[in-house]
């Protein structure tokens, strides 16, 4: 199965990650603990839904694994807003009963 393991022409592209993936995890972990989200379901389904929704609402940021990362306050704000939006949606209608 060519290409199915993130390999192209023998080069592994697995380390090419969307920068937002890590940032969403980092920020989501903090945001979800806030007072305003107490009572929020913290199960795996809801966490995946929030994670996916937030990422889908952000422009992709694929970067070389060797690229030096600089913290960008503006991007962090953008990501935080996407996470809050996603939490609202999942809280209102979780994908399970
Ligand atoms: Zn849940």
Tens-digit pLDDT string for the chain (97 aa): 555 788 999 988 888 889 999 999 999 999 999 999 998 999 999 999 999 999 999 999 988 767 776 778 999 999 999 999 999 999 999 998 7
For residue 90, report the distance from its CA to the centre of ligand 1, in Å: 8
* pLDDT one-digit tens code per residue, 2-28: 557 889 999 888 888 899 999 999 999
Q: Enter the pTM of the model.
A: 0.84
For residue 43, report the distance from its CA to the centre of ligand 1, in Å: 4
For residue 68, report the distance from its CA to the centre of ligand 1, in Å: 36
Q: How far apart are the C-alpha atoms of 68 and 10, rounded to whole Å? A: 25
For residue 46, report the distance from its CA to the centre of ligand 1, in Å: 4
- 8 A C-beta contact, residue 81 and residue 50: no
For residue 1, report the distance from its CA to the centre of ligand 1, in Å: 35
């Amino acid at each position: 199965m060519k290409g199915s393991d993130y390999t192209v022409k023998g080069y592994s592209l697995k380390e090419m990650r969307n920068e937002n993936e890590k940032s969403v995890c980092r920020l989501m972990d903090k945001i979800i603990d806030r007072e305003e989200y107490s009572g929020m379901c913290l199960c795996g389904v809801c966490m995946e839904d929030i994670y996916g929704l937030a990422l889908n609402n952000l422009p992709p940021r694929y970067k070389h694994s060797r690229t030096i990362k600089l913290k960008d306050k503006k991007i962090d704000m953008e990501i935080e807003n996407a996470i809050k939006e996603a939490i609202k949606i999942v809280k209102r209608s979780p994908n399970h009963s």
